[in-house]
């Protein structure tokens, strides 16, 4: 478990610079005004497989995004839908199990059901670009699934749309997959079942066994916690007095007695989804490709605990590019293929976890100037749903949410004190500590990779 220890702004800056872009205050953003960021991210999986191209697109203002998998030719696909709240496109065709390749793209997206626009947009882009057409054996088939990245994950409801998905598709490149809170996993979370509310993301892994290529990708937006092969939680905002190391098996095995204070999902935490993709280059008859889908999806219950709950909408696609015949030397049995792919998927799950942000530390000796206090005051709008009023009370700065919803640790019922850290920087302590930065009439919550920017309303 990566604990959330004190830190310096340097790290945050480092993360920020990874995104060389002007980020607008989300409160002023309409879907039309948003600009795609393509294939960004510092940490990347690299692998050699020209048949598979990947593109990610993000709207920093969400943040939210899309991840597009695009194959160099039509491929065979299968699907296993297991979650309690899936959002899907074209799974019914895959289920028919025809023994010929028909699939062009697999698209994962944030934005809950709205994000399915990304999947359909991938198909129409192939059509508009003339890569696919209307002849019956040349119609583009795009399948996809979405994650729920609204709720208390962010302060707006921007979603990945047609523009973003088509840009990502067109930017797709072979051999590179951004890891962590990128693409469809841009605002993913994990561990809400335990109240962990850790930042999560998308993971990928690749293994080559002789001529056999196996890749696994997953967007881990799970109700459960990511668990490593030693049985330890990988990312969590732990409650007070929680055991270290934190082992899901200990907590779960003792349910409900093992339930700790703070270990109760909030009502807002009710929607999650982990969406995944396994790709192999070996041919498999449809029933065995389907078997891979079922087996790998089931095996994910080791790396995410609990898994496949009512509050997860888990979907897994399995694809065979058919580059290697199952009778070729070096081809694997379908059982071995399923077992190895399950492990590659666990690797992918582990690689999805981003570096968690560190809470700023309050500096009791730092004295905020009165002029600054006055300057920071005002109403900051993050979206049509969320606004925050900053005001000065007895020389201290307090914040209160004034819109329809809370703003993280800044709640609607009562103001909370902002503890000074440095010039223009404040924080609110707690299990989910909040960092704040004032600059240029903008208030940035959690400056860095997951920042939310509010613009001061004209008075």
Residues in 114-143 at the binding interface with a copy of itself, rule: CB under 8 A: 114, 116-117, 119-121, 123-124, 127-128, 130, 133-136, 139-142
Taking the complex as a whole, how short is the minimal distance between the CB of residue 6 and a copy of itself, in angstroms? 33
| Nearest to a copy of itself of 285, 392 (CB atom) | 285
Q: Which 59-118 positions form the footprint of a copy of itself (CB under 8 A)?
A: 81-82, 84-93, 96-99, 112-114, 116-117
> CB 98 → a copy of itself: shortest distance, Å?
5
Cβ-proximal residues to 64 (8 Å cutoff; 6+ apart), any chain: 58, 110, 111, 115, 149, 154, 158, 159, 160, 186, 187
Please list the residues that pair with 57 across neighbouring strands: 38, 66
Query: Closer CB to a copy of itself, residue 67 or residue 334?
Result: 334
Q: Is 408 left (phi over 0), alpha (psi -120 to 50) or beta?
A: left
Who's near 213: CB < 8 A, 6+ residues apart? 49, 206, 207, 279, 280, 281, 323, 324
Do 451 and 357 contact (CB within 8 A), yes or no? no
Residue 273 designated active-site: yes
Phi, psi of 167 (to 5 degrees): -65, -40
Shortest approach of a copy of itself to residue 427 CB, angstroms? Answer: 27
Binding mask 338-377 for a copy of itself (x = CB under 8 A): xxx-xx--xx------------------------------
- Tell me the window of 37-45, 334-342, 387-395, 439-447 that interacts with a copy of itself (CB under 8 A): 334-342
- Angle, helix 117-128 to helix 162-170, in steps of 10 degrees: 50
Query: Nearer Cβ to a copy of itself, position 61 or 343?
Result: 343
x/- letters, 395..434, toward a copy of itself (CB under 8 A): ----------------------------------------
**Could you say which DSSP state residue 353 is in?**
P
Nearer to a copy of itself, 108 or 307 (CB): 307
Nearest CA-CA partner of 454 in 391, 401, 375, 383: 383
Among 291, 358, 381, 456, binds a copy of itself (CB under 8 A): 291
- Binders of a copy of itself among residues 246 to 285 (CB under 8 A) are 249-250, 252-253, 255-256, 265, 268, 270-271, 285
The one segment of 18-26, 146-154, 418-426, 442-450 that binds a copy of itself by CB under 8 A: 146-154
Separation between Cα atoms, residue 154 and residue 64, nearest integer Å: 9
CA pair distance 142, 68, nearest whole angstrom: 10
**Lookup result for tokens 């666990």:** 346
The sign one gets for the Cα dihedral 86, 88, 90, 91 is negative
Q: Which two tokens stand for residue 130?
A: 């003339």
Binders of a copy of itself among residues 196 to 235 (CB under 8 A) are 209, 223, 229-231
Size of the site for a copy of itself (CB under 8 A): 97
Residue with smaller CB distance to a copy of itself, 268 or 367: 268
Q: Which active-site residues does the annotation give?
A: 273
């Amino acid at each position: 478990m990566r604990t959330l220890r004190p830190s310096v702004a340097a790290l945050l800056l480092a993360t920020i610079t990874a995104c060389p872009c002007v980020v607008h205050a989300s409160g002023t953003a309409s879907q039309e005004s948003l600009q795609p960021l393509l294939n960004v991210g510092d940490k990347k999986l690299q692998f050699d497989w020209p048949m598979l191209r990947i593109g990610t697109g993000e709207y920093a203002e969400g943040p939210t995004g899309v991840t597009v998998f695009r194959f160099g030719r039509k491929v065979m696909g299968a699907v296993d839908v297991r979650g309690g709240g899936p959002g899907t496109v074209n799974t019914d065709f895959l289920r028919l199990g025809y023994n010929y390749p028909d699939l062009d793209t697999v698209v994962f997206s944030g934005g809950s059901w709205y994000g399915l626009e990304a999947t359909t947009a991938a198909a129409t882009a192939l059509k508009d670009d003339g890569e696919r057409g209307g002849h019956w054996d040349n119609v583009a088939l795009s399948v996809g699934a979405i994650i729920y990245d609204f709720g208390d994950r962010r302060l707006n409801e921007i979603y990945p749309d047609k523009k973003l998905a088509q840009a990502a598709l067109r930017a797709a490149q072979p051999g590179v997959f951004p890891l962590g809170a990128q693409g469809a996993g841009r605002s993913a979370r994990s561990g809400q079942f335990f109240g962990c509310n850790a930042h999560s993301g998308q993971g990928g892994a690749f293994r080559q066994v002789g001529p056999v290529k196996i890749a696994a990708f997953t967007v881990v937006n799970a109700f459960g916690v990511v668990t490593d092969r030693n049985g330890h939680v990988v990312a969590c905002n732990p409650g007070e007095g929680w055991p270290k190391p934190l082992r899901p098996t200990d907590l779960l095995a003792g349910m409900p007695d093992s339930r700790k204070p703070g270990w109760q999902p909030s009502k807002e935490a009710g929607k999650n989804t982990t969406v995944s993709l396994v790709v192999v280059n070996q041919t498999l008859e449809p029933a065995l490709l389907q078997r891979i889908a079922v087996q790998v999806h089931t095996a994910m219950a080791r790396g995410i605990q609990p898994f496949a709950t009512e509050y997860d909408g888990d979907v897994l696609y399995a694809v065979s590019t058919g580059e290697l015949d199952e009778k070729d030397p070096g081809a694997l049995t379908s059982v071995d293929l399923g077992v190895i792919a399950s492990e590659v998927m666990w690797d992918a799950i582990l690689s999805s976890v981003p570096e968690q942000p560190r809470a700023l530390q309050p500096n009791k000796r730092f004295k905020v100037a009165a002029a600054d206090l006055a300057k920071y005051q005002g109403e900051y709008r993050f979206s049509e749903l969320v606004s925050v009023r900053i005001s000065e009370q007895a020389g201290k700065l307090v914040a209160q949410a004034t819109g329809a919803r809370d703003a993280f640790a800044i709640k609607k019922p009562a103001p909370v004190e902002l503890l000074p850290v440095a010039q223009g920087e404040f924080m609110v302590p707690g299990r989910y500590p909040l960092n704040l930065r004032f600059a240029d009439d903008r208030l940035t919550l959690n400056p860095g990779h997951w920042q939310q920017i509010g613009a001061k309303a004209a008075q």
